Amino acid sequence: MLSENMQNALNGQINKEIYSSYLYMAMSMYFESEDLSGAASWMKTQALEELAHADKFMRYVNERGGRVVLEALGKPDSSWDVPLDAFDGALKHERFISASINDLVTLAREEKDFMSDNFLQWFVAEQVEEEASVSEVLRMFKLAGGAGGGLLMIDRELGSRVFTPPAAE
Ligand code: OFO
């Protein structure tokens, strides 16, 4: 059985994961409006992945006899001037999510909730990938200088990303 503290913290994380999806969907729509269909598709894939993360947390709370409570979502940003700004925002957001996962692990250890600690290790590893993949795209955008043929090449490459549900990884 989850402690009330842990249950509340996990519900908070579920909200953050669904918000991540909302934010990346907003970024996807921004890229679509900029005629960057590859980046739009990359971000839509990321939005789906975030929903899969939320689902993983929700199933875990239920498995441990807890109660999932869905809270209101914040309004995501939508004011990016150039494509690079959106990926910069995505990296900042992923660092925030990593810190939040670290806080959950700290709480699990303080409470000697080793089941939650073990469950959370999947997310600790996932955040290494999340930060790395966004950083890589950001680097590519910086190299391309934000315009011209380089940008189109990056956009084509980003369009090749496909969604893989976590369970199938
Ligand atoms: Fe769920 O990892 Fe990104 O936010």
From atom 3 of ligand 1, which residue's Cα is the shortest distance away?
Answer: 94
The pLDDT score that the predictor gives to residue 169 is: 46
Rounded average pLDDT over 110-118: 98
pLDDT tens column, 43-99 = 999 999 999 999 999 999 999 999 999 999 999 998 899 989 999 999 999 999 999
pLDDT tens column, 129-153 = 999 999 999 998 888 876 677 888 8
**Residue 13, pLDDT above cutoff 50:** yes
| Domains of the chain as residue ranges with CATH | 4-158 (1.20.1260.10)
- Which pTM does this prediction carry? 0.93
Whether 46 lines ligand 1, by a CB cut-off of 6 Å, is no
Out of 50, 55, 101, 122, give the residue to mutate to test ligand 1, the one with the largest number of ligand atoms within 8 Å of its CB: 50
What is the spatial distance between Cα 69 and Cα 51, in angstroms, rounded to a whole number?
15
CB contact burial 118-132 (16+ within 10 A = b; e otherwise): ebbeebeebbeebbe
Whether 101 lines ligand 1, by a CB cut-off of 6 Å, is no
- Give me ligand 1 centre to Cα 78, in Å: 18
CB hemisphere CA count around 18 (13 angstroms) = 16
The answer to whether the CB of 127 falls within 8 A of the CB of 97 is yes
The pLDDT score that the predictor gives to residue 151 is: 85
**Under 8 Å CB-to-CB from 159, ≥6 apart: which residues?**
37, 38, 39, 41, 42
Angle among Cα 40, 43, 44 to the nearest 5 degrees reads: 85
| pLDDT band at residue 167 under the 50/70/90 scheme | low
- Give me ligand 1 centre to Cα 97, in Å: 6
SS3 assignment, position 145: coil
